Amino acid sequence: MFGRFQNKTRSIPRHQLENAGLRLSDLQPGQKARILEIGGSEMFRIRLMEMGLLIGDVVEMEKLAPLRDPMELIVKGYHLSLRRMDAEKIAIETVAADE
Amino acid sequence: MSRTQTIAVAGNPNCGKTTIFNSLTGTHQHVGNWPGVTVERKEGRYVYHEQTFKVIDLPGTYSLSTYSVEELVARDFIIKDVPDIIVNVVDASNLDRNLFLTTQLIEIGRPMVIALNMMDMAQEKGLQIDTETLGVLLGAPVVPVVGRTGLGIDLLKEKIHRVQTQVSEKARHINIVYHRDIEAQIERISHVLEQGAIALPNARWVAVKLLEKDDHIWEYLVDFTEKESLKIVTAEAIDQIEKIFNDTSRSAISHARYGFVRGATQECVKTTLAEPVDYSRKIDKFLTHRLLGLPIFAFFLWVMFTVTFNVGAYPMDWIDSAVSWMINLLHTILPESMVASLIVDGMISGVGAIAVFLPNIFILFFIIALLEDSGYMARMAFIMDRVMHSLGLHGKAFIPLVMGFGCNVPAIMGTRILESRRDRILTTLINPFMSCSARLPVYILVAGAFFPTHAGTVIFAMYVTGGVAAILSGKLFSKTVLRGMSKPFVLELPPYQKPKFSSLLWHTWERGQVFIRKMGTVILVGSIIVWAFGYFPREVTLSQDYDGQTQKLKTQLTVRQHSIDEAFDASVEMQKQQYYSVLVPFESSKHFKELVGQRDSLLHETQINFQDAVASVGYARQADVMSQKWIGKLGKIIEPIVAPLGFTWREGVALITGFVAKEIVVSTYGVLFGVGADVDAENTGIIASLQQGGMTPLISIGFLVFVLLYTPCLATMAAIRRETGSWGWTTFSVVYSLLLAWLLAFGIYRIGSWLEWLT
């Protein structure tokens, strides 16, 4: 009965960020940024990709939730929500607000 | 007429897939579960040009990898059941992401029709989509539709028909072409696959999945003869790709898929508006505002709660009266027999006790459907995620937990809104600790009896204790039996939409009917069992002569009445002699009237005392009878288990019957203490009996905590069984909550006694 969950925790490769600069979690509401690199487990990276968040995409930080976590982003016109601890695994560069 | 064709409807969550499914099939639907998992399986039918189509609504997924049960279910169906046609519902206002799933469907290689949904919203966003070219690029006809209005559904049916009959629209299968370095490896693996001497539906797809390190793909390769060489070649190929791309092969392949999607959308989509209007963003300026967001959320919760239980109270009363009426009627028309008792006291009373919750459940489901369809549900998850995250749960898990305060059954059924199975099980397991409304009568009675001035505080403390138990248990489970596998929190906040009333009703019915079915099965059986325990053995030997006692009381009454009359006559005689007035006859005098009044009140008082005494004998008789029935014997058997908590066999029996439904604890007490089953807090008899029965305020606290924590009712148990899909988890939940309840009650009693609290 319990095995169902435990046997799935096979070793999933983790990706260490090479970029040392800004993280998605550093963005302030209203700021825009381009995604440079996505770290974390493969599952996390694939999941982001499935949800349409890819390297090279420009995202806008919309707001933080009332309890300051998670954060709301706008990507290609739709709204996604990410926890800040996950956003720390995403390297970005800021872009001008009108881009 | 040719054979029935099977259509699988696939698409992302929030793409309007269900609306399209409903428009295709109308009301000819059947809702069930996919075998072995608790993912809703919807199936419907329609006839077009004399051809019958069976439509299966696959779970909404963002991809066909195997990270969630939903994805696995969707993929398994396409591969193993081989539908004749796939209808891929695609949100036109969100093409890039939606087409990612499409690329995976294309690779599987079944004939496909793409329903380009939400065209109206795409136009609002200023998107112009060249559906012809898109169809050519994707190798499948593309039909623009607006699911909410039904626009384009006829054309969709026509295209499905044509693809199936191959009249003109030969579905031209295309390949998603990857980078040449990946292609080389696909080639290599395909080559090995060809030697394995089994017929694969699509070797190329299998090759890609192998490269993606998809473990589940081996399930389709059971009969493959060259497994060893395939494993070696696959490992080598993955290595090659990972070296070249400096990334995992899986990620590289997903990137390539997106490359394909972007190529297609760049060619087919034109944006006309510079700045599209984003209404949802404006609404969210208020609804998820950093200061207003929480109060608004709390307000909505309050409304949800109030409406469910206050509005639901009216139909609840109607059902209650209808059930009582039916029971009374049957009692009068049916001759007294075992069958009559089984039907009336067992089946109808038992199921009726649960049926009263139907209005609550339906109203709650309606509100949930409203929250889901409007898009606010996702915002609730957004707002509450921080709190739920501390339990290792997804933000959405908050909703079923709050619903638990009303009734755990719909709340546990409401865990379906959670995407991951682990989250669903965790939320289901801690849900019974949320104190449901059925426990309130027990609190009111017991707290009212022992803490008349502080009953409110005691009851509130029960709710808090339940909440704390839920949180701590949640933490415990997420660190032990339900470790890991919490999905990364990437939540889409879909645009707000005006819900369609018919679809709300449909959702409500879909979920609510499950509860109705349950009443006819599990609850019915459970009620019959409890009835049987209270009914057998039929012959009992009474330990006292109750009839004699009643007779004695009657004699006493007559004697007393007689003596009152005599005393009255004597007094009248005496007063009459001292009476001098000639104007007013004695019989009209003030003195005489006083005497009559005194006599009447004495007679009345005697009558009341007599009735009470007779009732007591009757109840004592009933208690005596109960103690000899199976239920009483069971109580005696479990007495050693509950004795360390300060409970007697009566508490034991009350708790056992409480498994059927918590309110029954109160009526069982009524029966056992001999004050009748129709007990409420104003009933002074039971309060006195509780105190005389040896219960102290301290024990009563332990008893309340026990009632709070152990399995709420049979219906909840059935819901846990249904939603976890496993007797293992159901047993775990029952055993865990019983243990927790026992330990806490024990702790309260022992520590309390030692400190000489409330004794």
**DSSP assignment of B101-143, as one string?**
HHHHHHHHT--EEEEEE-HHHHHHTTEEE-HHHHHHHHTS-EE
Beta-bridged to residue B419, according to DSSP, are: none
Asked if pLDDT for residue B687 goes beyond 70, the answer is no
pLDDT single digits (tens) B222-269: 778 778 888 888 999 999 888 888 888 888 888 888 888 988 988 998
Contact call for B483 and A77, based on CB within 8 A:
no
Determine which of B63, B386, B478 to mutate to test the interface with A (most A C-beta atoms within 10 Å): B386
**Residues of A with CB below 8 A from B494's CB?**
78-79
**ipTM here:** 0.87
Tokens, residue B160 = 């499905």
B11, β-bridge pairs: B89
Res B560: pLDDT: 92
Q: Round to whole Å and give the CA distance between B298 and A64.
A: 18
Find chain A residues with C-beta within 8 A of B276's C-beta.
77
pLDDT for the residue numbered A5: 45
The pLDDT value recorded for residue B679 is: 53
Residues of A whose CB is below 8 A from B127: none
Q: Does residue B734 belong to the interface with chain A, where contact is any CB pair within 8 Å? A: no
User: Which of A7, A49, A80 is best to mutate for the B interface (most B CBs within 10 A)?
Assistant: A49
Work out the mean pLDDT of chain B and round it to a whole number.
84
Looking at residue A24, its pLDDT comes to: 93
Amino acid at B229: S
pLDDT at residue A10 is higher than 60? no
How much is the pLDDT for A1? 45
Model pLDDT, residue B485: 53
| Chain A residues touching residue B487 (CB < 8 angstroms) | 43, 47
Split into its structural domains, chain A has a count of 1
What does the CA dihedral B39, B42, B43, B44 come to, rounded to 10 degrees? -170
Residue of A74, A81, A82, A88 for testing the chain B interface, max B β-carbons within 10 Å: A81
The torsion defined by the Cα of B316, B318, B323 and B325, in degrees rounded to 10, comes to: 150
Contacts of B376 in chain A (CB under 8 A): none
Q: Cβ(B670)–Cβ(B619) under 8 Å?
A: no
Window from A13-27, B106-120, B176-190 with minimum mean pLDDT? A13-27
Q: For residue range B20-45, what is the model confidence (pLDDT) as tens digits? A: 998 898 876 776 666 555 567 888 99
The answer to which of B290-304, B399-413, B626-640 has the lowest mean pLDDT is: B399-413
The percent of residues above 70 in pLDDT, for chain B, comes to: 91
- Specify the pLDDT at position A4: 45
How high is the pLDDT of residue B553? 92
The fraction of chain B above a pLDDT of 90, given in percent, is 24
Distance from CA of A92 to the nearest CA of B (A): 18
Any CB–CB contact under 8 A between B726 and chain A?
A: yes
Let me know if residue A71 belongs to a domain. yes
CA dist., res. B755 & res. B205, Å (int)? 71
Rounded to 5 degrees, what angle do the CA atoms B21, B39, B28 make? 30
Question: Any idea what the Cα angle at residue A89 is, between residues A85 and A95, rounded to 5°?
Answer: 110
The token duo for B279 is: 């209404």
pLDDT in tens, A35-75: 998 888 877 888 888 888 888 889 999 999 999 989 999 98
Q: Output the CA torsion sign for B129, B135, B140, B145.
A: positive
CATH number of the domain residue A86 falls in? 2.30.30.90
Cβ-defined contact of B490 to A86 (cutoff 8 Å):
yes
- The average pLDDT across B199-218 equals 82
Amino acid B79: pLDDT: 85
Q: Which is nearest to B97 in space by CA: A80, A15, A40?
A: A80
Residues in CB range of B352: below 8 A, 6 or more apart: B319, B320, B323, B326, B327
Report pLDDT digits (tens) over B507-548. Answer: 788 777 777 876 777 778 877 887 888 888 888 888 888 889
β partners of residue B88? B10, B114
> Quick one: average pLDDT of A3-17?
51
> Which residues of chain B does A70 touch, with a Cβ-Cβ cutoff of 8 Å?
382, 385-386, 395, 489, 491
Q: Residue B616 pLDDT more than 90?
A: no
In a domain, A78, yes or no: yes
Residue A10 in domain: no
3-state helix, strand, coil split of chain A in percent (to 5) is: 20, 35, 45
Asked if B291 reaches chain A (Cβ–Cβ under 8 Å), the answer is: yes
Kindly report, residue by residue over B300-343, the tens digit of the pLDDT: 888 887 787 778 888 888 988 898 899 889 888 888 888 888 88
Bigger pLDDT: B692 vs B694: B694
Range of the domain at A74: 25-95
Residue A15 lies in a domain: no
- Chain B, nearest residue to A12 by Cα: B248
> In angstroms, rounded to a whole number, what is the distance separating the alpha carbons of residues B314 and B304?
16
B485 with A13: Cβ contact below 8 A: no
Instruction: Please report the pLDDT score of residue B685 as a whole number.
Output: 63
Q: Which of A52, A69, A81 is facing B493, going by the closest CB pair?
A: A81
Instruction: Tell me, yes or no, whether A9 lies in a domain.
Output: no
pLDDT value at residue B91 = 92
Residue A2 falls within a domain, yes or no?
no
The pLDDT score that the predictor gives to residue B437 is 76
Query: How distant is the Cα of A22 from the closest Cα of chain B, in angstroms?
Result: 20
Residues from chain A contacting residue B93 (CB–CB below 8 Å): 77-78
Residue B425 and residue B724 in contact, taking contact as beta carbons nearer than 8 Å: yes
The pLDDT value given to residue B369: 83
- Hey, is the C-beta of B508 within 8 angstroms of any chain A C-beta? no
End-to-end Cα spacing for chain A: 52
Reported as half-sphere exposure (CB side, CA atoms, 13 A), residue B298 has a value of: 6
Identify all chain B residues contacting A42, using CB atoms and an 8 Å cutoff.
Answer: 248, 250-251
The answer to whether position A18 is within a domain reads no
CA–CA separation, A64 and A83 (whole Å): 10
